[in-house]
Amino acid sequence: MIRNAKFSDKSHVLNFCQNTFSWGDYVEHVWDYWLNEDLLFVYEKQFPVGICHGFFSKNQIWIEGIRVDQNFRKQKIASLLVNHIESLGQKNGALFSFMLIDVENSTSLSMAKSLKYDILETWNFYSLEPKKNSNFDIVFLKSFDTTFYTHYVKSWRWLPLDSETIFELLKQNKIIQSKIDGKVSTAIISNSEHFDNTLIVTLFSDSEKTLLQIILFLQNHAIQNNYSRIQILTKEKLFDFEFLEHKLSFHLLRKNLV
């Protein structure tokens, strides 16, 4: 019933992944990437009726894109797909499985609960409009203490911030910071691998003043580098700012695999 997805599944799958959410769905934009990345599975009756994608990173497996055709829901198809990826994770030494669920998606949250996932953190998603600015007070960090930061967001996956990853991010000037009156805001910048011209930013902020500096920098950085969208993921509730819009909030859920 569960098998690796193949190229010819695409049209069947996109048929039931069009109006998944009130705003539509993103599966059509990522299907080709996921197929290439591997660990894309379908649940097949006579044709595919469910999908799920997994992504290994260090000691964890990331689970995303759980979709079941409306006509086949409540038959444990999603649960079987998730269990399938979890057991692959276990076989490959993953300690944890993670997934991200919209705080308002109660069906999916019930599913995660029934699969023994716990809410680890809640994250807010803001969009920020690019804009030309100058005179922002930020530095590119040369070292970064991760004691309080375990993950950063890359292509909408929360990936572990281990020393190797930090080293690469610092080398590429991807970690910026603003420090004013002993307060700090830090941002980790990455490109979306799946969406064109999209800057994805993981933000940790202590104060409004330092946050403003980061925001001014990001807007200008986007203009200078031809990004048309800036997506900010942060655990904080950000202040009201003309070019900043709160879009959604998500729970980051975790399951111990050992």
Ligand X SMILES: CC(C)(COP(=O)(O)OP(=O)(O)OC[C@H]1O[C@@H](n2cnc3c(N)ncnc32)[C@H](O)[C@@H]1OP(=O)(O)O)[C@@H](O)C(=O)NCCC(=O)NCCS
Which residue ranges make up the site for ligand X (CB under 6 A)? Answer: 20, 66-68, 73-79, 101, 105, 107-108, 110-111, 114
**Considering the complex, what minimum distance in angstroms separates the CB of residue 104 from ligand X?**
10
Return the number of the residue (62 or 217) whose C-beta is nearest ligand X: 62
**Considering the complex, what minimum distance in angstroms separates the CB of residue 66 from ligand X?**
4
* CA angle 109–157–197, rounded 5-degree value: 125
Q: How far apart are CA 188 and CA 202, in angstroms?
A: 5
Take residue 18 and report the two structure tokens written for it. 């069009």
Return the number of the residue (111 or 189) whose C-beta is nearest ligand X: 111
The H-assigned helical ranges of the chain are: 10-16, 27-37, 77-91, 106-114, 163-171, 208-224
Return the number of the residue (102 or 206) whose C-beta is nearest ligand X: 102
Residue 162: CB atoms within 10 Å: 13
Return the number of the residue (99 or 203) whose C-beta is nearest ligand X: 99
- Dihedral sign, CA of 181, 183, 189, 194? negative
Residue 9: CB atoms within 10 Å: 19
Return the number of the residue (69 or 222) whose C-beta is nearest ligand X: 69
**Considering the complex, what minimum distance in angstroms separates the CB of residue 52 from ligand X?**
8
Q: How far apart are CA 95 and CA 71, in angstroms?
A: 34
**Considering the complex, what minimum distance in angstroms separates the CB of residue 64 from ligand X?**
7
Specify whether the CB–CB gap between 235 and 229 falls below 8 A.
no
Return the number of the residue (175 or 252) whose C-beta is nearest ligand X: 252
SS3 41: strand
Contacts for 23 with CB less than 8 Å, ≥ 6 apart = none
Q: Return the residue matching tokens 């990455």.
A: 190
> What backbone torsions phi and psi does residue 257 show, to the nearest 5 degrees?
-95, 0
Please name the amino acid found at residue 25.
Answer: D
Return the number of the residue (40 or 78) whose C-beta is nearest ligand X: 78
Residues written for the chain: 258
